A and B are shown apart, each in its own frame.
Chain A
Amino acid sequence: MAEIVTMPKLGFDMAEGTLVRWVILEGEEVKKGAVLAEIETDKATVEVEASTSGTLLRHLVEQGSVVPVNTPIAIIGQPGEEISGLSGQELPAESQPTPQPAQEPSVATPVATSAPEIQEGTLPAGVRATPLARRLAQESGIDIRNVPGSGPLGRIRKEDVEAYLAGQARKPAEEVTIPTQAILPESLALPPFTPGEEKRIPLTKLRAIIGKRMAQSTQTAPHFFVTHEVDVEGLLNIRQEVNQLLTDGEKISVNDFIVRATALALRLFPNLNASIDEEKGEIVQHGAINIGIAVALESGLITVVCKNADQKSVRTIAQEVRTLVNRAREGKVRPEDIEGSTFSISNLGMFDVAQFSAIINPPEAAILAVGSARQQPVVKDNTLQVGWRMNLTLSVDHRISDGAEAAQFLQQLARYLENPLQLLI
């Protein structure tokens, strides 16, 4: 008996998805669990798996089409099986597709037809790099995506990888947290001036959704901000010591420590690990502590989620976050990677940022903005010394919490970060 595959609902608020690419073609055999197609939702590109084994008899939608949730997209059965009665359209959808959002998706790029230009997303690992640069990066155990490219079109070349490695060797302590693709060229010379022309770039789906959610957040959640300066000298030292015991692929970032410390602090401040339910007039304190980590992509920003972070070791957190971030960068996020966060962290430490304030990721109660670890003159034992400091800024929804609670939370967080051994036991 032939089986109909429908457009899956891959997220709570998913109404439709763009079928970006058919992986299994008509007439090809498919095993249960194999990837049938790639689908782009509001948030990410995800893979649709076959629910049964057999032969893919027919595609019911074309590549590039925008398909409402639960709409039949393919038929799997035995070769030669009669499927004329199963065109899909006649089938009652299991549940009514959610009405389409008012705003039309702008990025339904048909892949099957000849694409006029190469898209960045189709580059291996999402970056333009020479094969030699890729190999050197792999051999050196660094992520090619972190290397700024100086070649034509920003292509990463051998000398860029070498320069990056040299820079890394010079200042290991300053390399902080989640790698983000640096885009600033190293050259001192200003690029030649070319008079600008107005350009109109259609919003990508991700860009549009970020805009919508952030506007919603600032309009509905009254934000206030509290900044706390943390002494991170001990943390940087212990991180260096720990990393000497680990291979390149397992190294722990400062951000991983912050994730753990934040999760532990949230245990003591459940009111900041919360959401507001305005309809019922209730504050919902969440049972689990799931930390969302903002990841900068070329196409925008997404938040990957480290679940139950308070119950995980720093090393486990590091490993998980690395996997999540890599999947995000490759555009292969799974729905569970980006769902269920109860508190978010945004870290711009790698960009030499003194401090900044982040917009709360709704419906959460707060978000932590992490600046760079910087060497500074500090007063210690009544003398002026050189120390390492980092600014943490908490943005809080005033409907849920107040300044005193936010300040005490930061004090607790600082206690953990300033006594980093606590984070390791």
Chain B
Amino acid sequence: MARITYREAISKALWEEMERDPSVFILGEEVGVWGGTYAVTKGFYDHFGPKRVMDTPIAEATIVGAAIGAALTGLRPVAELMTINFAFAAMDHIVNQAAKLRYMFGGQFTLPLVIRTVSGGGRQLGATHSQTPDAIFAHFPGLKVVAPGTPEDAKGLLKAAIRSNDPIFFIEHATLYLMRGEVPDEDYTIPIGKSKVQRPGRDVTIVTYSKMLEVSLKAADQLSKEGIEAEIVDLRTLRPLDMEPVLQSFRKTNRAVIVEEGWRSYGVGAEVAARIYEEAFDYVDAPIQRIAQKETPLPYNRSLEQMALPQVEDVVRAVKEVL
């Protein structure tokens, strides 16, 4: 087990899969000579060469469109969109093509495509570059949406995504790249569509994913000092959504707080809460709480930005409210 960063974990996953399978290649803005905006693909260009590490124009629709074409012909492209905010420029390709081709051609094609992108605020990048619109992508059947919150999960899930024959929207988080965690040395994958209990507890279930896992873990440590033991379920995949660990935990604790970085309306919390009410109604002992980003474009000002994003104290307060 090595203690490496989230960035290194993703980089290693890409590297190992490219070594293992010559049909895997990378394309995106500045992924080659520059080594990636978030330095994930540093050194790849020199090692794998320009045919497998392709710099593209600043044209997201083209990146995703080309990747879809390559995937249909049997390659395994990993397209990088510099941030999730730019994915909107490629929306038609993502939701009308990638998510539907396999279905509309009656399964004659597979689409082994991975779109890697970066979500999240907190770096003072302004309203248009700081969004967390993960739920939008999870809305579409046909697309799998993965959003890991630890280095171990990031590596295992990305490797599984590259080996999968379905289009996968892989969401990393801008402020997690420096997070360190234990990652197994050997070759491993983590199945897509499996939630995981990241911290056992008995008093309340916190459901979360990605960056908010880190926030929730800190909140749980704080609560633990007051004798409140929160169980944290990390969704890891937003579609298909694996509710079983959530429901199991909820049937034990009877109360839940859902923590997401995106906006609350129509969000991940709304979906998870609704499913709990549908499938564990008789176990509900307090109204489920949702913690999410304030309903405003994210401010640039640092203090305001932090106020708009969910903080550890928000989670602590919500937990106390449901107890």
**Nearest residue, chain B, Cβ from A130:** B285
Q: Kindly state the separation between the CA atoms of A133 and B286 in the bound complex, as whole angstroms.
A: 10
Q: Most chain-A CB neighbours within 10 Å: which of B281, B282, B283? A: B282
**Nearest residue, chain B, Cβ from A135:** B282
Q: Kindly state the separation between the CA atoms of A134 and B285 in the bound complex, as whole angstroms.
A: 10
Chain A CB within 8 A of B54 CB? no
Other-chain residue from B281, B283, B286 in contact with A157 (beta carbon distance below 8 A): B286
- Helix, strand, loop or mixed for chain A's interface? helix
Report B139 CB to chain A, min CB distance, Å: 28
Chain B CB within 8 A of A151 CB? yes
**Nearest residue, chain B, Cβ from A151:** B286
Chain A CB within 8 A of B130 CB? no
Mark out the residues of chain A between 131 and 158 whose CB falls within 8 Å of any chain B CB in the assembled complex. Answer: 131-135, 151, 157-158
Using Cβ atoms and an 8 Å threshold, which residues of chain A touch B282? Answer: 131-132, 134-135
Q: Kindly state the separation between the CA atoms of A133 and B283 in the bound complex, as whole angstroms.
A: 8
Q: Kindly state the separation between the CA atoms of A135 and B280 in the bound complex, as whole angstroms.
A: 12
Chain A CB within 8 A of B254 CB? yes
Q: Kindly state the separation between the CA atoms of A131 and B287 in the bound complex, as whole angstroms.
A: 10
Mark out the residues of chain A between 158 and 181 whose CB falls within 8 Å of any chain B CB in the assembled complex. Answer: 158
Using Cβ atoms and an 8 Å threshold, which residues of chain B touch A158? Answer: 254, 285
Chain A CB within 8 A of B90 CB? no
Report A79 CB to chain B, min CB distance, Å: 38
Using Cβ atoms and an 8 Å threshold, which residues of chain B touch A135? Answer: 282-283
Range of interface residues on chain A? Answer: under 10
Using Cβ atoms and an 8 Å threshold, which residues of chain B touch A131? Answer: 281-285
**Nearest residue, chain A, Cβ from B282:** A135
Q: Kindly state the separation between the CA atoms of A131 and B281 in the bound complex, as whole angstroms.
A: 6
Using Cβ atoms and an 8 Å threshold, which residues of chain B touch A151? Answer: 286
Using Cβ atoms and an 8 Å threshold, which residues of chain B touch A133? Answer: 285
**Nearest residue, chain B, Cβ from A139:** B282
**Nearest residue, chain A, Cβ from B284:** A131
Q: Kindly state the separation between the CA atoms of A132 and B286 in the bound complex, as whole angstroms.
A: 9
Using Cβ atoms and an 8 Å threshold, which residues of chain A touch B283? Answer: 131-132, 135
Report A136 CB to chain B, min CB distance, Å: 9
Q: Kindly state the separation between the CA atoms of A158 and B284 in the bound complex, as whole angstroms.
A: 9
Q: Kindly state the separation between the CA atoms of A134 and B284 in the bound complex, as whole angstroms.
A: 10
Using Cβ atoms and an 8 Å threshold, which residues of chain A touch B254? Answer: 130, 132, 158
Mark out the residues of chain B between 282 and 304 whose CB falls within 8 Å of any chain A CB in the assembled complex. Answer: 282-286
Q: Kindly state the separation between the CA atoms of A383 and B254 in the bound complex, as whole angstroms.
A: 55
Interface 1/0s, chain B 241-255, versus A by CB < 8 A? 000000000000010
A–B complex contacts, Cβ < 8 Å, 17 sampled: A130-B254, A130-B285, A131-B281, A131-B282, A131-B283, A131-B284, A131-B285, A132-B254, A132-B282, A132-B283, A132-B284, A132-B285, A134-B282, A151-B286, A157-B285, A157-B286, A158-B254
Chain A positions within 8 Å of B, measured between CB atoms, are 130-135, 151, 157-158
Chain B positions within 8 Å of A, measured between CB atoms, are 254, 281-286
Given contacts A132-B284, A134-B282, A151-B286, 15 further A-B contacts (CB under 8 A): A130-B254, A130-B285, A130-B286, A131-B281, A131-B282, A131-B284, A132-B254, A132-B282, A132-B283, A132-B285, A135-B282, A135-B283, A157-B285, A158-B254, A158-B285
